Structure 1
Amino acid sequence: MIAEIKSNTDTKMQKSVEALRVNLAKVRTGRAHVGLLDHINVDYYGAPTAINQVANVTLIDSRTIGVQAWEKTMISKIEKAIRDGDLGLNPSTNGDVIRVPMPALTEERRKDLTKVVRNEADDAKVAVRNIRRDANEQLKRLVKDKDISEDDERRAAEDVQKLTDKYVIEIDKLLAEKEKELMTM
């Protein structure tokens, strides 16, 4: 039982770190890429829907993303969603194509992106700590049900804490790499 809890905890923490890795890849460092808009949701008839579910997202050139809505009524909603996103982009509509130019990365913009990256890392740390809390609660439940001894629970909780520390360090490394990448010209 304890081994199963530790294994599940390790797997969930790994997934949190992988999710962070994916989110950090979306933060641009100068070039446009279609994955940049993946996390933006559009109000599609009352339901928040991923932008790639209501439009084609393509690269027009290395500094411009093109978004072609599948329904003409969605163009203004998509444009608004991109503008309101946390990426600081300013889309413009040209007929039925929304052009999203990537502004040059100024020092101020780099600092803004660093804040976005730090928030992503903080969210990942919170997720890891929530997983630790859930594992500790499962261990306490096992002690309460008299399935394991208090000593076993204490040792397992220490192991869970070691896992937590390991993944928090990994998150910090990913954050440091991305910040360095953002701040170099």
Structure 2
Amino acid sequence: MDRTWVGKGLLLGSMVLVACSDSTEPTPDIIRDPGALNILQLAQNAPPLWNSQASFYAVRGEGREARLFFQDATGGRGEEYLRLKIPGPSLLTRPDGTPFSVGDSILITVTVVDVQQILFELEPSGLRFDPAKPAELDIEYQEAGDDYDQDGDVDAEDDRIETELAIWRQEVAGGVFERLGSVKFEDLKEIDVELTGFTRYAIAY
């Protein structure tokens, strides 16, 4: 949405760094079992999703993107939820290891795993991006509201939780989660991360 891209430019000097390491690698010592991680939930009054899945062909040499949205008050396309950007030089190798040449393409799909959780699956698994020109995943959490622990009130605990929010990666369903280095724009309620591959990603704490 426009407010996000304008706001990013204004906030570059005050962005909150969740971690400074390569965002495709886990932050050291931050690996958790699913039962020990809190995936952020959407608020009960959050609008329904306008689309829960998006597919597109990424092409070596051409920038492409996919977006997910919430519904607006009339059921049409509303506020942006997720944006996946694939720069032109980003595609490196297919899941079978075959390198991409300019003009080669591959079908990419982004799926909401659970409509109540900020959890997504990106496919195909095994696709690799150039670490020097990675893909970028931007996720907004505005519709989680401010009661992040969903205990019925907004207090200092919710403020603390927001400082801990980050994007976490899960390689296989049921497996452990790894916290990634990501950039959080608290004023925009958005977290961005660079990717060199695809799997499951969540905003969690």
| Shorter-chain TM-score range | under 0.3
Q: Which structure dedicates a bigger proportion of its chain to helix?
A: 1
Larger relative contact order, structure 1 or 2 (CA cutoff 8 Å, min sep 6): 2
- Select the structure that is richer in strand: 2
TM-score if structure 2 supplies the norm length? 0.23
Give me the TM-score of the superposition, normalised by structure 1: 0.25
Pick the structure with greater CA Rg: 1
